[in-house]
Amino acid sequence: MDSRLYVITGSAFLKGRKLEDVILQAIGGGADCIQLREKDVSSRELLEMAVLLRKLTKETGTTFIVNDRVDIAQAVGADGVHLGQQDLPIAVAREILGPDKIIGISTHDSKEAIEAERSGANYIGLGPVHPTPTKSDAEPAIGLQGIREVCRHVSIPVVAIGGIKQKDVEDIIRSGASGVAVISAVIGADDVHAAAKAMRDAVDRVRKEG
Ligand code: 3NM
């Protein structure tokens, strides 16, 4: 699961626009993974959103991950699930989803990252890189130093997250992350396609340097 631009939904940033339009613009700009993450909706609404996003991502050949809800991931045939440290353990999610699905987990330091790799995670989310108002209970920011430290200890892909803007992307990839995950910088952008493209291009530029 080597995502370069991982875009996470956040209905608060839609500003009246339709979720499907915004996600299609993000994919058009270069998002290669979409995660459904909505904290304040019913299971039924979440399922409806998952069905919609599974359709769009399948049609565009984009990876589709569901945050936290293994049941919904399974129900819609998502490519995988993203877990928090307090969600189901990786081993339990793996038992339910089987060997071929993607399981990612949010981590904040080397200890959690090493544990995630040992438990069979396919990638880790690592953050927050910078302070972010998007996640009210985010841990303290780890900065580029935190990315470098964690990347020394794991070999699964590290997707950096938290307060990431376009100007931050190159340094983050140079620090060892394989990609960046964002909510507000893409979903909240006036021009979603352009915002996604600028971030994806920045990742590609640095990764080409090798
Ligand atoms: N997880 P934005 S930070 C969903 O640190 C999420 O694990 C984080 O939103 C973590 O790109 C975060 O708007 C919010 O800062 C990311």
Strand ranges, E, within the chain:
5-8, 33-36, 63-67, 80-83, 102-107, 123-126, 158-161, 179-182
**Is 37 a catalytic site residue?**
yes
> Taking the model in full, what pTM does it have?
0.97
pLDDT in tens, 132-190: 999 988 899 999 999 999 999 999 999 999 999 999 999 999 999 999 999 999 999 99
pLDDT digits (tens, 9 = 90+) for 86-144: 999 999 999 999 999 999 999 999 999 999 999 999 999 999 999 999 998 889 999 99
Which atom of ligand 1 is nearest to 182's Cα?
11
Residue nearest to ligand 1 atom 9, measured at CA: 183
Angle at 186 between CA 193 and CA 106, to 5 degrees: 135
Q: pLDDT tens digits for 6-58?
A: 999 999 999 999 999 999 999 999 999 999 999 989 999 999 999 999 999 99
Catalytic residue among 3, 4, 37, 101: 37
Q: Which residues line ligand 1 (CB under 6 A)?
A: 8, 106, 125, 127-128, 132, 134-135, 138, 161-164, 182-185
Mean pLDDT of 179-205: 98
pLDDT band at residue 210 using 50, 70 and 90 as cut-offs: confident
Residue of 4, 135, 197, 200 with catalytic role? 135
Find out whether 29 and 194 touch, Cβ atoms under 8 Å. yes
Whole-complex ipTM: 0.99
**Of the candidates 210, 189, 186, the residue with the CA atom closest to the CA atom of residue 199:** 186
Residue nearest ligand 1's atom 16 by CA:
162
